[in-house]
Structures are given as C-alpha cells and as structure tokens.
C-alpha cells in the first residue's frame, strides 16, 4: 500500500510518506504543498491530511483537493480530518446563551470557543490569544478544553506537561521582570518597529503565509461539496477510530496511543476516487 500523510506536523508514521512545510527529521519530507503534491498521477492508495485544509485559502484548497485526486489510484481513498465549523458554531451559541445568564464556567467556555472561531484566523503572531489562554496560571474550564482539543484532562500527561511549562515560564518571566525594564524595552522596540513599516508588513505577511493561521473553515456540507466538485465519490463521515483504510487504528493518526481521539474538535470524512 502506498500512503501519504500531507501537512503531517508531528503526527506521522513510518509506513507512510510524510510531508510538511517544516521538518527537522528524515521521516518528514519538507515541501510546500501549495506548489502541488510532488508525485505522479494514480500513485497512492491512500491520501490523508489532518487539520491542513483550513490553512489554505478557498481557491488554494480547491487546487489542493484536485491534486489529491490526481495522485490517488482509481478506487483509492482520501481521508480528511478538519476542525468542525458546525460544532464550533453549536458551542458558540450554547455558551453565548448561558453566558448571558451569568454562568461563570459558560463565560470561560464562550471565551475559548471565540478563540477557536476567530483567533485562529485573525492572529498576527504565533500561537496568538489562544496560546496566551493555554499558558494562563488558572484555567477555569480545563475539562471543556480537554473535550475540545484533547488538552488538560486532570492528571493526564498533557495536563502536567502544560502546567509545568506554564509554571516554569511564569517563574522565568517574573525573574526577568525584576531585573530588566521589560516595559521600557517593549516601548522602544515598538517605536523601532513603527519606524520601518516596510519590514513590519513583510514580517506580518511572512507570518500570515507561514501555514499557522486558518484561512477558511468547513462543515459536513461544504467539505462534502468540495470533494464532490473535485469528482470524489462514496463520501462518508466517520469517527476517529473508524475507516475504510486497512489497519487504520494501528497508525495512531486520529487516535493516540491510549486509543483516545487525538483532535476531538474534528470532522472526519473519507471518499473514493
């Protein structure tokens, strides 16, 4: 079986060809997928990408899905995992109504879902407001975050990892603050930046095109329509651990080592060429 994992990030498997913009090891081929998929027609049995398509503009996404179709063998499978816009909107509406009633936990959940909806699209610096939220000393809605993005289950490895990192960063920050006039330096740097707007905009453009931000969002309707418009057939929505791909759960791409869904905010869809 020839299988390719596009925009793999840190989630890859040795049985697959893994490709990403960024790579610091031999198992991941470094390539900009906006230039196409660097393989011949009818080459792969499976094309998979997780949380990649939303990083492309709408028009780039059409070209990219056409590329996925081109490199698949007839009868080959495409599997896509993507943040589910419908779920984000449902959560937004639910917590908006509860927040209006003053429910404190609902307000925290509302703040978080706004980050999923907007911060991921509009941020102008790495990790954005979402990064700041995740590094807060007190996070009131950890259980909700775990259900949304798989972080912060109390007692889990991830939970302790993130908290330790936060505490460590927090300590360093307060030590630095004591000895260095951070505020003055920041003002100086901002002034310096404003003096050279050309450089500033270049930097901003570079970040906006770095593959971190969301350029579009999808739901079960728009993703199905996109696939159908690119000639894909036999579309089906799946759970993280369900697939037509043989031995899917062995690869641990949509589930983790414990068999738990890796990115719970996802919509999973498969189709055939």
Q: What residues make contact with ligand SAM under the rule CB under 6 A? A: 7-9, 11, 20-22, 32-34, 50-52, 55, 211
Nearer to ligand SAM by Cβ, of 103 and 212: the residue is 212
Distances (CA, A) of 178 to 33, 44, 165, 174: 45, 57, 20, 6
Give the shortest CB-255-to-ligand SAM separation in angstroms.
12
H-assigned helices in the chain: 58-71, 85-100, 104-114, 120-122, 128-134, 142-149, 157-179, 182-195, 197-208, 220-229
β-sheet bridge partners, residue 200: none
Looking at beta carbons only, is 20 or 270 nearer to ligand SAM?
20
233-238, strands of its sheet edge to edge: 28-30, 17-20, 3-6, 44-50, 72-83, 266-272, 233-238
Tell me the C-alpha distance between 138 and 134, whole Å.
Answer: 9
Instruction: Give residue for tokens 């927040």.
Output: 99
* CB contact at 8 A, 237 and 268: yes
- Return the structure tokens found at 206: 């570079």
The least distance separating ligand SAM from the CB of residue 103, rounded to whole angstroms, comes to 31
Q: C-beta of 57: minimal distance to ligand SAM in Å?
A: 11
Q: Closer to ligand SAM by CB, 55 or 123: give it.
A: 55
Comparison of 142 and 254: residue with beta carbon closer to ligand SAM: 254
Taking the least distance from each CB to ligand SAM, the nearer of 13 and 94 is 13
Q: How far is the CB of 23 from ligand SAM (least distance, A)?
A: 9
Report in angstroms how near the CB of residue 20 gets to ligand SAM at its nearest. 5
């Amino acid at each position: 079986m020839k299988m390719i994992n596009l925009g793999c990030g840190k989630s890859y498997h040795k049985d697959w060809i893994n490709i990403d913009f960024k790579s610091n090891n031999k198992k991941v081929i470094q390539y900009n997928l906006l230039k196409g998929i660097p393989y011949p027609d009818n080459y792969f049995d499976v094309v998979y990408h997780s949380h990649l398509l939303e990083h492309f503009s709408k028009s780039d996404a059409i070209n990219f899905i056409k590329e996925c179709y081109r490199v698949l063998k007839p009868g080959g499978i495409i599997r896509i995992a993507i943040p589910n816009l419908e779920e984000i909107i449902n959560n937004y509406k639910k917590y908006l109504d509860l927040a209006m009633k003053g429910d404190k936990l609902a307000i925290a959940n509302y703040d978080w879902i706004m980050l999923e909806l907007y911060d991921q699209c509009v941020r102008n610096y790495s990790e954005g407001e979402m990064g700041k939220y995740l590094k807060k000393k007190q996070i009131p809605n950890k259980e909700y975050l775990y259900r949304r993005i798989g972080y912060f289950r109390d007692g889990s490895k991830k939970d302790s990892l993130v908290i330790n990192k936060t505490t460590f960063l927090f300590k360093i920050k307060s030590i630095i603050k004591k000895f260095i006039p951070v505020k003055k330096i920041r003002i100086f740097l901002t002034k310096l930046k404003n003096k050279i707007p050309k450089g500033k905009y270049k930097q901003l453009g570079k970040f906006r095109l770095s593959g971190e931000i969301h350029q579009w969002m999808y739901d079960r309707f728009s993703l199905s329509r996109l696939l159908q418009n690119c000639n894909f057939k036999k579309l089906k929505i799946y759970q993280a651990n369900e697939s037509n791909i043989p031995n899917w759960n062995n690869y641990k791409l949509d589930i983790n080592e414990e068999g738990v869904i890796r990115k719970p905010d996802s919509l999973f869809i498969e189709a055939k060429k």
